Structure 1
């Protein structure tokens, strides 16, 4: 089998883009992506913070949530979570600028640029996103199975605005402004390596798939396969850190080391598998949508002088 013929440009660099067009397209792409994968985020979070094993895996959790709380519960906290699109734009711009800076300094290895760019962009993104993450996670775990870490009265939960307002005021009352950054360093430990690994593995899988694909295979199709493979691989490495992060933010554990000891004592080796199937499914879908949207938007945003070198 002959390998896929290399296009003039495989990776579209920052200097090739019409920046305003790229940023505008990215906002809409980020919002659509969150709409599609948010229910899996809710299921994953419920699995990670449960203490009485109310759910036995992803499918069981999904069916019970739908049966007991209805479809709308899968989007509980979505409207506040959707504010994270702004951090998403900060993330992708930081990633592209860091890669461009490394390119200007002579770094050509895509794995190295992905590793560093992914890590730095996640650091910026988490700084912007953590307050929204804390509030949305408190909202998404509220249900009829007894999970209510802030002890909110039942009548508050009937209104999204009142729920949001009460969660914010309760977090502030208990911890002050720092409460909105509870789990920040745990988030960095969970997400910075995850982002770095994802962007480092992505070109590895992309190159491997290109070498195995027939010459008529669309490059975008290859990239859409490389994304989910990178996402699943990253999930396996980072699942324990993601569980500890969720427990710190929702169960109010006050340090990374204490949370890690607590989770290890209560879950043991299950720390490597709790919520993993939901994470892998979520990551596969989000990685596919991310890559298909991200790579398509970059192609649509390429400046005129580079369009003849771009292959779909």
Structure 2
């Protein structure tokens, strides 16, 4: 190889490195864990995410009804929503919301703490090992997603079990008088094991889902910023638009991939325990397939797809906004 070719390769490498550095410079400033005022972060986060959860809760109720309905009663999302409204009024869309909200604050706190701490430590370690910044960002986001999902499920699984049972009961078939009553009755009937029914499946569902979601979100954001060519100083509106679009794509893909697992998990958590034949993962899957084949595993896909896309876009824009509100003075430059 001639010296001229070597020089050309070196120049090409230098140009690529310069282009990568310029791309990073043009991206909006990342607010990492060390830059946050933690007390402000958790207090504001609890308030903001409680509001978002309230707005999206009806879609979760409709999705849950569709997943647990037996074949003769299976209907479309619209028909299910109309039936809930006709039978229970608007109150029917918020059954179990109190129990869900009570768990949202500690679960979100654990989720956000694990997410940011893991992302910061893994990202820094990857860069020190010589991994390129874009790859390090995607790897750190994936690891952070897994860590956050596992941490949150410690709190969220019992809350999910209680709130889902409250969601599907009607005034005529009311067995639980609220979250506290559901907690007491489930504990008496099944012990702690009853509150953590579906925990393993929840981890199996949400850990890889979160890994894919956060890594896809990081890559999608970078692609969108490259496409629109905005500078670091762009307006908050542009920032939220790019983040929201990236989150919606990641949320929709995640919903499609994890839908069968979510349906099985919901069935397993909602089914009442029977001393003679406690529901197991295998029996739940067999029952679901017997009812309607693989199509039964995708009941409620429409509401879940819409809910997760909207939830993802709303949650992420809220989350990124929250991080900027919680940044320490002078940390953003």
Contact 1:239 1:271 (8 Å CA) reproduced: no
Structure 1 window deviating more from structure 2 (7-16 vs 119-128): it is 7-16
Q: Which residue of 1 aligns with 2:142?
A: 115
How big is each residue's C-alpha offset from its partner over 1:244-263, in whole Å with a ceiling of 9 and x where there is no partner? 10010012463223322322
Partner of 1:195: 210
1:96 aligns with 2:110: no
Q: Deviations over 1:149-200 (max 9, x none)?
A: xx83xxxx6xxxx343442333123212211111111211222222222111
Distance (whole Å) between structure 1 residues aligned to residue 246 and residue 287 of structure 2 = 36
- What TM-score do you get using the length of structure 2 for normalisation? 0.82
Match of 2:262 in 1: 242
SS of 1:115 mapped into structure 2: helix
Residue 271 of structure 1 and its aligned partner are, at CA, apart by 3.9
User: What secondary structure sits across from 2:170 in the alignment?
Assistant: coil
* 1:220 equivalent in alignment to 2:240: yes
1:8 Cα offset (Å): 5.8
Match of 2:294 among 269, 277, 280: 269
Looking at structure 2, the residues matched to 234 and 32 of structure 1 have their Cα atoms a distance apart, in angstroms, of 23
2: CA distance, partners of 1:163 / 1:233: 34
> In the alignment, which residue of structure 2 is the partner of 1:183?
198
Matched pairs, number: 294
Distance change (3 Å), C-alpha of 1:24 and 1:56: same
Q: Distance in 2 between matches of 1:263 and 1:28?
A: 38
Provide the C-alpha distance between the structure 1 equivalents of 2:70 and 2:260, rounded to a whole number of angstroms: 16
CA distance 1:272–1:51, shift in 2 (3 Å): closer
The equivalent residue for 2:49 is: 30
Partner in structure 2 of residue 304 of structure 1: 329
Unaligned runs of 5+ in 2: 1-22, 128-132, 273-277
2:300, 2:312 → 1: CA distance? Answer: 17
TM (normalized to structure 1)?
0.87
Q: Is the 8 A contact 2:263 2:298 kept in 1?
A: no
Say which one has the larger Rg.
2
**CA RMSD after TM alignment:** 2.3
